Amino acid sequence: TARVWDDAIDVCLTYSLGIFTTGWRLPNANEYSSIVNWGLTSLLNYAPFNYALGLISSTSNTSLKAVLYVPQTPTIQSANKSSSYRHFAVRTFTVTGTTLS
């Protein structure tokens, strides 16, 4: 769903999936870059994403601007916080107690 930046932040903060009920947020630019498919023209046009543009957690140096990740180019651009863009939530996971052999 496309949302304005403030609403996207709020939705991500309240996201819950199974036992993972806290810690959700908008991704940063590095996280977006780590999931793009470099073999596609639109780098995030694959399931489950199918996105052209995406809001990220950073803001620009003005309170009226958000930062938008444009995976086709790929570039980071300034966007109006009052404009609606698609987004998704991410969460940091810590894996402990794993022994590999």
Angle, CA of 26, 86 and 50, to the nearest 5°: 105
How many Cβ atoms from other residues are within 10 Å of residue 66's Cβ?
26
Q: Are residues 24 and 93 in contact, defined by beta-carbon separation less than 8 angstroms? A: no
Residue with tokens 């870059």: 33
Residue-wise pLDDT for 64-83, tens only, equals 888 887 777 777 888 888 88
How far is 48 from 32, CA to CA, in rounded Å?
Answer: 13
The per-residue pLDDT string of the chain (101 residues; one tens digit each, 9 = 90 and over) reads 789 988 999 999 999 999 889 999 988 878 887 888 888 777 777 888 776 667 777 666 667 888 887 777 777 888 888 888 888 888 988 777 766 55
